Chain A
Amino acid sequence: MLVVFVVLALLPQYNHGYTVTLLTDILRYAILTLAWMIFSGPTNYMSLATAAFYGIGFYIAAIANGPVPFAVAIIIAGLVSFVVALLVGALTLRLRGVYFCIFTFALTLLIQNVVLEVERVVTHTRGRFVEAETTEVAYYAMFIVAIFTIAMAVLIRRSRYGLALQSIGEHEEAAAHSGINVVRTKVLVFAASAMPMAMAGAIIATQRTYIDPGIAFSLQSSFLPVLMALFGGMSNLVGPIIGAAVFTYIGELLLTEFPDLYMLIFGVVLILAILFMPNGIVGLAQTVWTKIRGSRRSAAEGGRRAPA
């Protein structure tokens, strides 16, 4: 784990351009997926609001980066997103199951359209320019936000909130009758998980220079983290990171090698993954590992039994 961190931290010193951009992209999706899983993993509340918070990050970057230092703009993005998520959470988290899912999706579209209208009426424009940052700066910023996200995920998972969230996911009624303030727990963790999403958005925005509501609130950002989490496996925190990395890399590979067949092949890979790896890559790895160990052990036992 530490080795991976060190390699990632030193990489831009030796490698420029494409690799750094690709890694920034992988880190972005790792952040979105992990942040999504902080809330939706244990609670089984499937949120499709990721794009809303990610897009807020874009707009904060457009407004704040330049007037204030880049780092401050990223932090503001996180805080604004936290507040918006508190409101969104208070509105949506009384709903359960598919209703919650659809409503978060609708709210994302609503926020996108509100921004579109406000821009049209107030600034009379469709899009905005974002003060650019270099590829390296964006990479390091993303790297730091990724560490922040991992730390948040680990801390929440290990704290009393972790058990509370899991209880809510397993039996919400029993959780409430056992003394858990179900609404507050859900809304707070939902809001906390929205922070890294907006931070990642604020960083990516500086690599785009021009943004509009269609780019910032692209619905891909809501769907991809869910797919990546499924793809990587949701039983632990490594799953979504690996899922995001492999998924992003395969996507990039297909897009460059087979641009025409990209979506088709991607779809087939995804269906196969869901059919044959119900617990994701990490789940598959665990199964294979136990099988190898099991067969080794039985081979050893067989060997011992043979002479007798």
Chain B
Amino acid sequence: MHLLEGEGVTRHFGGLAAVSDVDFYVDQGEILGLIGPNGAGKTTLFNLISAALKPKPGKITFNGRDITPLPAYQICRLGIARTFQTVKIFPHVPVVRNVMVGALFGTGRRTSSAEARKKAEEALEFVDMLTLKNTVAGDLTLAQQKRLEVARALASDPKLLLLDELMAGLTKPEVTEALGDIAELRSRGITIIMIEHVMQAIMAASDRIIVLDYGKKIAEGTPAEVAANPKVIEVYLGEECDA
């Protein structure tokens, strides 16, 4: 049984098929990369998995359980946490309390306030932001806000983590650091699906890659297989060569 599995997942916006009949799965402990040109439907797929949107039609199962009808907060409590392409933090709340939200409400267990604070501090330690814990989140740099989202997601004890363009806008050393963090998360037993435009990074980090284009899955395989796929080169990698 796969940890997460989607069958015929589809979502239209008006006449536009944002995600069209996509089958996918991810196994426990795996790192799955999701790539494709802008507007290919990558973030929409994340929104469908995390129940920001409902697939119409389509079915998503997690640990064998049909999670399609569940609301977003229950998806989180079951163990699917996410970050956002455009950061969504609580700007007037101190960093540590931002993360405590995940620990207090996202784990599916009743967590005491002291326990939640401890957990939040551990998560902040992981993203190297413990020294900033009393800063108001809106005062952080964009890169820090992204790491804050990771910490908030981690505090909810996820089994599966959805990372949406974590590395966009990071410098080379920061990308290297982020790759190290992802490897560390995997060693903790967390499964990851990541959307990324930084090619070297996603090729290096992923076990398997799914390529989307105009809402359809056009390729799937190991990074090497995907990189050699003529269709992928044409719609996606080729574009970069032309540019």
Contact = CB atoms under 8 A, between A and B. Distances in A.
A175 B82 contact: no
A176 B51 CA distance: 10
A167 B73 contact: no
A278 B78 CA distance: 43
Contact of B106 (A166, A171, A173, A179): A179
A167 B106 CA distance: 13
B103 to A, nearest CB: 9
B101 A163 contact: yes
B146 interface: no
A177 B82 contact: yes
Contact of B52 (A175, A177, A179): A177
B84 A170 contact: no
B104 interface: yes
Contact of A177 (B50, B97, B108): B50
B240 to A, nearest CB: 32
A178 B97 contact: no
A236 to B, nearest CB: 14
A170 B145 CA distance: 15
Specify which of A160, A166, A174, A180 lies most central, judged by the most chain B CB atoms within 10 Å of its CB.
A174
Contacts of B100: 163
B152 interface: yes
Contact of A181 (B50, B73, B89): B73
B73 A174 contact: no
A179 B73 contact: yes
Give chain A's interface secondary structure class: helix
A307 B137 CA distance: 43
B156 A179 contact: yes
B93 A170 contact: yes
Contacts of A179: 73, 76-77, 101-102, 104-108, 156
A186 to B, nearest CB: 12
B91 interface: yes
B101 A167 contact: yes
A182 interface: yes
Interface string A165-204: 0110011011111111110000000000000000000000
B81 to A, nearest CB: 8
Nearest to B78: A179
A164 B98 CA distance: 10
B88 interface: yes
A136 B90 CA distance: 46
A160 to B, nearest CB: 5
Given A160-B105, A160-B113, A163-B104, A176 B89 contact: no
A179 B84 CA distance: 15
Interface in B151-180: 152-153, 156
A133 B126 CA distance: 63
Contacts of A163: 93, 97, 100-101, 104
Nearest to A166: B93
Given A170-B91, A174-B90, A176-B71, A164 B105 contact: yes
Contacts of A174: 84, 88-90
Given A163-B104, A180-B105, 7 more contacts: A163-B93, A175-B101, A176-B73, A178-B81, A178-B101, A178-B105, A180-B73
12 contacts: A160-B113, A171-B89, A174-B84, A175-B90, A175-B101, A177-B50, A177-B76, A177-B82, A179-B107, A179-B108, A180-B101, A181-B71
Interface of A: 160, 163-164, 166-167, 170-171, 173-182
